[in-house]
Amino acid sequence: MSALSRPLRIVAEASVPYLRGIIDQVADVTYLPSDQFTAENIRHADALIIRSITRCTPELLQGTQVKLITTATAGFDHIDTAYCDAQGILWRNSPGCNATAVAQYVMCCLSRLALRDDYALTDKVMGIVGVGHVGREVQRLASAMGMRLLLCDPPRAEREGDASFLSLSQLVETCDILTFHVPLTREGAHPSYHLIDDSLLAACAAKRPVLVNACRGTVADTAALCCAVDDGRLSSLVVDCWEGEPHISLPLLTRADIATPHIAGFSADGKANGARMCLEAISEVYGVEFPGLSSMSPPPPQQSLISMSPQAYHRIERALLATFDPMLPDGMLRRQPEAFEELRKSYHYPREMRAYTVQGVTDSEAVILRGMDFQV
């Protein structure tokens, strides 16, 4: 797409961080809350910067000048891509932008459960369902900790002919922990809609695994999850993604051991990555340069030094929890489930492990912590 003879017009979702002061230098920018994205308000925009709450439908886009949609999220099921392709509207997502953030969330939730129930994560077998950007990061962090891992990804197994990928039923039969990181698909050879259903959960009765859904709400059948908890087929349940968001199931909320308002990918680092990738897409399409883009980064954490000296046990788990404790957003959601979307908008984004330095560690702990991105 050729450069414009006038300033580029961008409408950006107001809660996408780290944009202000960078795009304003070279573009005519309007910041809008997601609920103010209307056809009238975006009519003269050349490009949009959105997140997953903003649905780009024909009703929104018809009659506008929008030629590029960028989303600061890895997922893009909120964009009607078929309509955009037919209308010549380019769209770009931000694959992998928050992969480490979701992996951090998973490992911190498991650390919290391990402390609560006093078991070693290294004694557990973890099954990762969906080994794309996020699943690979979960694999990397869990491997650094020393956990035994089994992987399930039928599309990758078919493409790559890799026999190391196992079936979902094999994981259910073997694993102490099942964590799901699949895209939401309803068609094709391997649809993920309600992948976690009565049949799968019935097969969980023997191993009673910890189950984590940190991908998409409708990957799990809410009623089936509630029944599985009631019947004792799961030892623990972690839910970050919910059917019907923002109107979540209160029965499922009461049954989850850890319940959060879809914030697994909400690290400050992931948000900066997503914002940067949106601007890189706009730069590529329109030929504009954004000064300061390469240095776009979140502020340091309030307390970046973690001391392991006072900790007697579960030391790696405690280091992880110093970066993010899932019980904080869990408590907020339980107090105000009706404020689901507001909790997401006002959420304080944690920094990822690379922003922290850990002191007072043994040589063997240092190897593990470095493998999980900590400074030692």
For 66-76, write each residue's pLDDT tens digit. Answer: 999 999 998 89
pLDDT confidence bin for 295, thresholds 50/70/90: confident
Contacts of 151 (CB under 8 A, 6+ apart): 127, 128, 131, 135, 139, 164, 165, 166
pLDDT greater than 90 at residue 6: no
pLDDT confidence bin for 2, thresholds 50/70/90: low
CB atoms within 10 A of CB 355: 20
Contacts of 248 (CB under 8 A, 6+ apart): 242, 337, 340
Residue 145 CA neighbour count, 13 Å, CB half: 30
Q: Could you give phi then psi for residue 31, rounded to 5 degrees?
A: -100, 125
Cα–Cα distance for residue pair 317/310, rounded to 1 Å: 14
For 115-165, write each residue's pLDDT tens digit. Answer: 999 999 999 999 999 999 999 999 999 999 999 999 999 999 999 998 899
pLDDT for residue 1: 57
CB 103, CB 240: distance < 8 Å: no
Please state, rounded to an integer, the average pLDDT across all residues of the chain.
Answer: 95
Q: Residue for token digits 């600061």?
A: 72
Q: List active site positions.
A: 216, 245, 262
pLDDT greater than 90 at residue 114: yes
Question: Across the beta sheet with 90-92, what order do the strands follow?
Answer: 27-32, 8-13, 47-50, 68-71, 90-92
The three-state secondary structure class of 320 is helix
pTM given for the model: 0.91
pLDDT greater than 90 at residue 292: no
For 352-362, write each residue's pLDDT tens digit. Answer: 999 999 999 99
The three-state secondary structure class of 221 is coil
Peptide bond into 246 cis (omega under 30): yes
Mean pLDDT of all residues in 92-101? 96
Q: Which of 135, 330, 321 has the alpha carbon at shortest distance from 239?
A: 330
pLDDT confidence bin for 108, thresholds 50/70/90: very high
Q: At what angle do helices 363-371 and 133-145 cross, to 10 degrees?
A: 180
Q: How would DSSP label each residue in 134-160?
A: HHHHHHHHHHHHT-EEEEE-HHHHHHH
Mean pLDDT of all residues in 230-240? 98
pLDDT greater than 80 at residue 257: yes
Q: Which of 15, 83, 12 has the alpha carbon at shortest distance from 290?
A: 12
CB 46, CB 4: distance < 8 Å: yes
Cα–Cα distance for residue pair 239/175, rounded to 1 Å: 18
pLDDT for residue 3: 64
pLDDT greater than 90 at residue 199: yes
pLDDT confidence bin for 342, thresholds 50/70/90: very high
